[in-house]
């Protein structure tokens, strides 16, 4: 089974990361359903000010993201301490973001959803009713730092149906 931490254990939590349009929410929900775990989207932890900023087509700064990452980390700690299992999705574009969420949490597995610019752009163009405008994709890709081997990521290609992406996570 691919779902294992760096120590070879079944994770207590899975952190699914990727840029907008990578299918984080869909894959996260399906993975949580398959595992029988709780699901949370990191977007739920954003302040109203962050949502408004993104909706106005302004990229978030590191200072915008700091309290957001802190809130996610605090939630993760509560879940882990309570012995609960969960899947959480998060853009986590710069290495420092997933590193903050993984630090001191060996029971968390990092899953990175990888796709081409063209595929991501097409997915965003087809998406309606989401606060994140498609034209911010380039800004996300410009700051994206893909996970490195020392983060022990499970890298999954998204050029397949979501159910197949989830299956690839669990092989």
Domain segments of the chain: what residues?
13-169
pLDDT of residue 26: 95
pLDDT of residue 25: 92
pLDDT of residue 36: 95
Listed in sequence order, the residues at least 6 apart from 139 whose beta carbon sits closer than 8 Å to its beta carbon are 59
> In the chain, how many H helices and how many E strands?
7, 5
Task: Flag whether the pTM goes above 0.95.
Answer: no
pLDDT of residue 139: 78
pLDDT of residue 135: 62
Superfamily of domain 13-169: P-loop containing nucleotide triphosphate hydrolases (3.40.50.300)
Which helix (H) or strand (E) segment is 54 a member of?
Answer: helix 48-55
pLDDT of residue 171: 80
Distance of alpha carbon 45 from alpha carbon 126, whole angstroms: 25
CA dihedral 14, 82, 95, 165 (to 10 degrees): 10
Which segments of the chain have a pLDDT < 70?
1-2, 127-135
pLDDT of residue 128: 64
């Amino acid at each position: 089974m691919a779902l294992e931490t760096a120590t070879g254990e079944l994770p207590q939590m899975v952190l699914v990361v990727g840029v907008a349009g990578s299918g984080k929410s869909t894959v996260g929900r399906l993975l949580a359903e398959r595992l029988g775990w709780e699901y949370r989207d990191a977007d739920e932890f954003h302040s109203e000010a962050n949502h408004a900023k993104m909706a106005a087509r302004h990229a978030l700064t590191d200072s915008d993201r700091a309290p957001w990452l802190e809130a996610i980390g605090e939630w993760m700690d509560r879940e882990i301490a309570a012995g609960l299992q969960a899947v959480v999705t998060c853009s986590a574009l710069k290495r420092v973001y997933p590193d903050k969420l993984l630090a001191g949490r060996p029971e968390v597995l990092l899953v990175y959803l990888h796709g081409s610019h063209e595929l991501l752009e097409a997915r965003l163009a087809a998406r309606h009713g989401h606060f994140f405008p498609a034209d911010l994709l380039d800004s996300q890709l410009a700051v994206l730092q893909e996970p490195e081997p020392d983060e022990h990521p499970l890298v999954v290609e998204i050029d397949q149906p979501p159910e197949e992406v989830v299956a690839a996570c669990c092989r």
